[in-house]
Amino acid sequence: MKMTSLRIFGLLTIFVLLAQGCNLPNNAPVQDMTTPTLNAIETATSTPLPPTNTPLPPTETNTPAPTATETPTLEPSTTPTEALPVAEVARESNCRIGPAGAYELVATYQPGKILNIIARDLGGGFVFVQNPDKPEEQCYILENNIKISGDVSTLPKITPPATPTTAPNFTVEFWKFDTCKDFYAAHFKVVNTGSIQFRSAYVKVTDLRKNQSVEHSLLAFDLYEGCIIAKNIAPLQPGGSGYLQSAYYKWDPRPNKQSAIFMLCTEQGLKGTCITKTLEFRNK
């Protein structure tokens, strides 16, 4: 009877175990009892595991944000730029590369023209100016012919170029006698044979028979026909031809022998470099 009961109990036990095994999930991992678990390895040995190749996350450093640098704003200067002194041309004036009539002409300025002064008086009564309309035109102009506005004391001085070696020169010959309102005048042809222009002239003619003279100065070398100017010629350029006329005689000089003195100057008003020549002639 005991044996029978034990058999029944054993069968029941087996049945219960089989029923529990059927209720387990299909994907439950089955532990391999032959491979020791991680916990068993850690428990079994005190040797630390080798480090893995996974990089550690960067350590966060509290770097302060950069401070913005303020760029200073430049304030416009309240000091006005000092303007150059200027010259207003008072009368027709030549402007040359040097402070004398022997230098090459750069320009001729009419009254009212405004020029910048870029260098102060260099002696001899000249100033160095620049044409505001043509900045490349820089030249010496006679101070007596301009009106200066502004302070020239702070301007620099410059050294003028050497005086040209070529001297002015001319030739002259008697041409004819002509009349204007019953008065006679002697006419002459003149040629500028130098390298510098002429701006004024002086003519004195003496009737050698009567021993009387007529004289005057000229600012041009115009061609006259009677009392009328047929052609304006001013100035008399190098290589150019012009005309000179004596002052009017109050008698008929045509039958008599004449003697003449001519003085041609490189500046107006018989200034600058002047050349003088004489001539004796008789009516043709």
Residue at token pair 């944000």: 65
Q: What's the average model confidence in pLDDT over 251-273? A: 95
Higher pLDDT, 103 or 46: 103
pLDDT in tens, 189-233: 999 998 889 999 999 999 999 999 999 999 999 999 999 999 999
HEC profile of the chain: CHHHHHHHHHHHHHHHHHHHHHCCCCCCCCCCCCCCCHHHHHHHCCCCCCCCCCCCCCCCCCCCCCCCCCCCCCCCCCCCCCCCCEEEECCCEEEECCCCCCCCEEEEECCCCEEEEEECCCCCCEEEEECCCCCCCEEEEEHHHEEEECCCCCCCCCCCCCCCCCCCCEEEEEEEEEEECCEEEEEEEEEECCCCCECEEEEEEEECCCCEEEEEEECCCCEEECCEEEECCCCECCCCEEEEECCCECCCCCCCCEEEEEEEEEECCCEEEEEEEEEEECCC
Q: How confident is the model at residue 19 (pLDDT cuts 50, 70, 90)?
A: low
Tokens of 83: 């303007």
pLDDT band at 156 (very low <50, low <70, confident <90, very high): confident
Q: Do 86-149 and 170-281 share a fold?
A: no
Least confident window among 50-59, 197-206, 221-230, 237-246: 50-59
Whether the predicted pLDDT of 115 surpasses 90: yes
Dist. CA 144–CA 129, nearest whole Å:
14
Amino acid letter, residue 49: L
pLDDT for the residue numbered 196: 87
pLDDT for position 100: 78
Confidence of residue 128 (pLDDT cuts 50, 70, 90): very high
* Domain range annotation of the chain: 86-149, 170-281
Cα distance between residue 223 and residue 168, in whole Å: 22
| pLDDT at residue 38, rounded to an integer | 42
Q: How many CA atoms lie within 13 A of 43 on its CB side?
A: 5
How many residues comprise the chain? 284
User: Per mean pLDDT, which range of 9-13, 35-39, 191-195 is the poorest?
Assistant: 35-39
* Domain covering 86-149, topology: SH3 type barrels. (2.30.30)
Per-residue model confidence as pLDDT tens digits over 77-109: 444 456 779 999 999 998 988 887 778 888 999
Q: Which CATH class is domain 170-281?
A: mainly beta
Percent of the chain residues topping a pLDDT of 90: 49
pLDDT at residue number 155:
85
Token duo for residue 61: 């450093």
pLDDT averaged over every residue in the chain: 79
Lowest mean pLDDT among 10-24, 148-162, 251-265: 10-24
